[in-house]
Amino acid sequence: MSSGSFRQACCSTVWELRALSESSFDLQSWLQQQGVSAEHARGRLFCKWLAADQLERLQAEAEGLQALIPCADSLVLPRPLALGLARGRALLVLDWLDLAGGDRAGWERLGRGLAQLHRRSLELTPAPGLFGWHDDRWIGAGIQRGGWQRSWGAFFCQQRLADQFQRLEAQGLRWPQSERLLELLPPWLEQHQPEPCLVHGDLWPGNAGVLRDGRPCLYDPAVSYSDREVDLAMARMFGGLPEAFFAAYNDEWPLPAGAEQRLIAYNLFHLLNHANLFGGSYIDQSRRSVEALLRLL
């Protein structure tokens, strides 16, 4: 599936976007009831809505943005302006991002800005030395398990991979190699010994960009304190961000040896999550990724 068709599929199943002027619902009044100024409410805003019972998903997105913003001095992230229930829907209203295609300089700024965000988060962490998050998150329509661990290898294998394997097996899909992988992978990752950085967590090309004025931006996160390489790994998926982004990141904060091999492990989580959500070719891709990892280990 191309990155464009994948993005369209996600948007059509997860949210609907409407310009405020096109909605029959009086969003301006609702926004003012939520504490948004009348002047701001009349501006161009991004409104994201789900069924009312999905409010926690929007709460998680808003919380993730609020966690990232203090670390992102050189990046633009949309501020959560209002969150609540209205007319049977859960609504999250954010700053509007005037996205453009972006030139090389813009993608370089994004790479440097992400490296600076990761480094800055080391100073602001609420749980020094711990990997994870205080509760479960959503990554698209999938679950991303929370909880805290001191061991990165244990956290990634238990709260990321093992959970996804269990979900697939609950659907009747057998993974005979999963136990072997989950046995060998933690000590291999422990040799790396990363610091727990606040990561975007869902950094595929549909969740990052460059604004019309040239500033780089991020949005729609699935945050956790993890190895910073997980963001760089996912940024290679679904078409990938431009190479200028990766080069600038590495200039700002070079990646340690072995990052290309760890990328296979980190992106296995996303392949498994998509296998759970969409099935099809993602199941075969996941199996091939497991086999590639076992050859490495």
Q: Are residues 132 and 167 in the same domain?
A: yes
Q: Are residues 187 and 208 in the same domain?
A: yes
Q: Are residues 107 and 130 in the same domain?
A: yes
Is 60 exceeded by the pLDDT of residue 245?
A: yes
Q: Are residues 87 and 160 in the same domain?
A: no
Q: DSSP for 149-212, please give it.
A: ES-HHHHIIIIIIIHHHHHHHHTT---TTHHHHHHHHHHHHHTT----EEE-S--SGGGEEEET
Predicted local confidence at residue 43, as pLDDT = 57
Q: Are residues 23 and 91 in the same domain?
A: yes
Residue range(s) defining the domain that contains residue 54 = 3-95
Domain stop point among 39, 69, 95: 95
Predicted local confidence at residue 17, as pLDDT = 36
* 133-164 pLDDT, tens digit each: 999 989 988 999 999 999 999 999 999 999 99
Structural domain count of the chain: 2
Give the model's confidence band at 50: pLDDT under 50 very low, under 70 low, under 90 confident, else very high: confident
Give the model's confidence band at 34: pLDDT under 50 very low, under 70 low, under 90 confident, else very high: low
Task: List, by residue number, the catalytic residues.
Answer: 202
Q: Are residues 213 and 145 in the same domain?
A: yes
10-19, 41-50, 82-91, 204-213: least confident range: 10-19
Q: What is the mean pLDDT of the chain?
A: 87
Predicted local confidence at residue 33, as pLDDT = 54
Residue type, 276: N
* 271-286 pLDDT, tens digit each: 999 999 999 999 999 9
